[in-house]
């Protein structure tokens, strides 16, 4: 393009591209900037950083954030333990199951979170209504323990499946699992060794990617937690917004920026890993 028609090709993008980028930049940055101003410049008080210094001391912040982080850790562990062996097995020995797994992992996309939680709430109500005389009732009580609601982990694992499937699929596509495993087996490794020491290190980027996406999903999740009556981070932000508007906006902006920085760091890390492996072989 540039070689054939240099004058036209060089002039046109120079005009429209900055224009589009500036407009988009304005639309996407103004709300963030305005939020920062909103938290810092309180009417009647002048410029103050109270909203940020108060965050740590506010009732419920630490406990709700910790709850969210614990839920995220549990969700990441469960979803990876379920998905990694399954995805590797699909490449190795059960290719006919692949469409099944693909459909199963895409199903949560068809059921919006609000519809999912409506069904989940119905199931949870069976506990007191039908099962109160059976041992299963204790299970129903236990998974709804407000200190660590296992039922949220179950829901979040389901909601993370599409993201994790895509991340792992992309990672596995970039490598030859069968050859790797066969090489490891020829060198005398047993199956778990081949998986842990040959396949997983090559999947590092995809594993990190899945973990971060799941973390971001759990930290920001509001619908399921609120409607089931639990109080992790996002629900706490909404609850606190009524009395402390500045504080809730400050926490919101921080959480958006932190998520973005995390994923950006991951992207640059992944990019470097990719170029490194490409130059190696």
Partner 1 sequence: MTAVVTEADTPLVAAASPKRRPRAGGWLAVLPLLAFVAIAFGLPALAMLNGAFTVKDQSSGATSYTTANMTASVQGAYLTAMLGSVKLSAVSAGLAAVLGLPLAQAVVTSPFPALREAVLTASGVLANFGGVPLAFAFVATLGNSGVLTRQLGLTDKGWDLYSFWGLVIVYLYFLIPLMVLTITPALDGLRVQWREAAQNNGATGPQYWLHVALPVLAPSLLGGLVLLFGSAFAAYATAAAMVGSSIPLVTLQIADAISGNVLVGQENVALALSLDMVLIAGLVMAVYLPLQRRSARWLA
Shortest CB 237 distance to partner 1, Å: 6
Q: Check binding of 192 to partner 1 (CB under 8 A).
A: no
Shortest CB 66 distance to partner 1, Å: 18
Question: How many residues of this chain interact with partner 1, rule: CB under 8 A?
Answer: 93
Which residues ranging from 254 to 273 are in contact with partner 1 (CB under 8 A)? 255-256, 259-260, 263-264, 267-268, 271
Whose tokens are 């990190």? That residue is 208
Can you tell me which of 48, 53, 126, 174 binds partner 1, judged by CB under 8 A? 126
Q: Check binding of 43 to partner 1 (CB under 8 A).
A: yes
Shortest CB 260 distance to partner 1, Å: 5
Q: Check binding of 194 to partner 1 (CB under 8 A).
A: no
Q: How many CB atoms lie within 10 A of CB 58?
A: 17
Per the CB < 8 A criterion, the answer to whether 239 and 231 are in contact is yes
Q: How many CB atoms lie within 10 A of CB 244?
A: 15
Q: Check binding of 253 to partner 1 (CB under 8 A).
A: yes
Q: Check binding of 145 to partner 1 (CB under 8 A).
A: no
User: What are the phi and psi torsion angles at 47 (to 5°)?
Assistant: -75, 125
Shortest CB 56 distance to partner 1, Å: 18
Any idea of the CA torsion for 254, 260, 262, 264, to the nearest 10 degrees?
-150
Q: Check binding of 128 to partner 1 (CB under 8 A).
A: no
Q: Check binding of 108 to partner 1 (CB under 8 A).
A: yes
Shortest CB 96 distance to partner 1, Å: 9
Q: Rounded to an integer, what distance in angstroms lies between the CA atom of residue 19 and that of residue 26?
A: 11
Shortest CB 196 distance to partner 1, Å: 14
Shortest CB 182 distance to partner 1, Å: 9
Can you tell me which of 131, 144, 148, 220 binds partner 1, judged by CB under 8 A? 220
Contacts of 39 (CB under 8 A, 6+ apart): 51, 52, 246, 247, 249, 250, 253
Task: Take residue 46 and report the two structure tokens written for it.
Answer: 């002048």
232-241: which pairs have CB atoms within 8 A and are 24 or more residues apart? 232/64, 232/67, 232/68, 232/71, 232/152, 233/64, 233/65, 233/67, 233/68, 234/68, 235/64, 236/60, 236/61, 236/64, 236/65, 239/60, 240/58, 240/60
Shortest CB 238 distance to partner 1, Å: 5
Q: Check binding of 200 to partner 1 (CB under 8 A).
A: no
| Paired strand residues for 47 | 41
Q: How many CB atoms lie within 10 A of CB 38?
A: 17
Q: Check binding of 189 to partner 1 (CB under 8 A).
A: no
Task: Take residue 156 and report the two structure tokens written for it.
Answer: 């979040």
Candidates 17-25, 56-64, 68-76, 167-175: pick the segment binding partner 1 (CB under 8 A). Answer: 17-25
Task: Take residue 275 and report the two structure tokens written for it.
Answer: 């170029």
Q: Check binding of 223 to partner 1 (CB under 8 A).
A: yes
Candidates 35-43, 58-66, 67-75, 272-280: pick the segment binding partner 1 (CB under 8 A). Answer: 35-43
Q: Check binding of 14 to partner 1 (CB under 8 A).
A: no
Q: Check binding of 89 to partner 1 (CB under 8 A).
A: yes
């Amino acid at each position: 393009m540039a070689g054939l028609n240099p004058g036209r090709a060089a002039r046109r993008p120079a005009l429209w591209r900055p224009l589009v980028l500036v407009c988009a930049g304005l639309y996407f940055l103004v709300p963030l900037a305005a939020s920062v101003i909103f938290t810092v410049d309180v009417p009647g008080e002048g410029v103050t950083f109270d909203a940020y210094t108060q965050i740590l001391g506010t009732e419920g912040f630490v406990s709700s954030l910790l709850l969210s982080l614990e839920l995220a850790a549990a969700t990441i562990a469960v979803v990876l333990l379920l998905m990694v062996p399954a995805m590797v097995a699909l490449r190795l020995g059960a290719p006919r199951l692949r469409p099944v797994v693909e459909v199963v992992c895409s199903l949560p996309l068809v059921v919006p979170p609000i519809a999912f939680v409506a069904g989940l709430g119905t199931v949870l109500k069976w506990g007191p209504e039908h099962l109160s005389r059976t041992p299963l009732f204790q299970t129903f009580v236990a998974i709804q323990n407000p200190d660590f609601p296992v039922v949220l982990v179950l829901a979040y694992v389901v909601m993370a499946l599409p993201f994790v499937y895509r991340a792992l699929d992309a990672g596995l596509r970039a490598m030859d699992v069968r050859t790797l495993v066969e090489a490891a087996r020829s060198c005398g490794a047993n199956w778990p060794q081949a998986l842990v020491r040959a396949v997983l290190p090559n999947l590092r980027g995809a594993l990190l990617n899945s973990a971060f996406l799941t973390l971001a999903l759990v930290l920001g999740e509001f619908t399921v937690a609120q409607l089931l009556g639990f109080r992790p981070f996002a629900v706490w932000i909404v609850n606190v917004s009524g009395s402390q508007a500045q504080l809730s906006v400050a926490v919101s902006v921080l959480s958006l920026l932190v998520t973005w920085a995390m994923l950006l760091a991951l992207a640059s890390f992944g990019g470097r890993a990719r170029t490194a492996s490409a130059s190696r072989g």
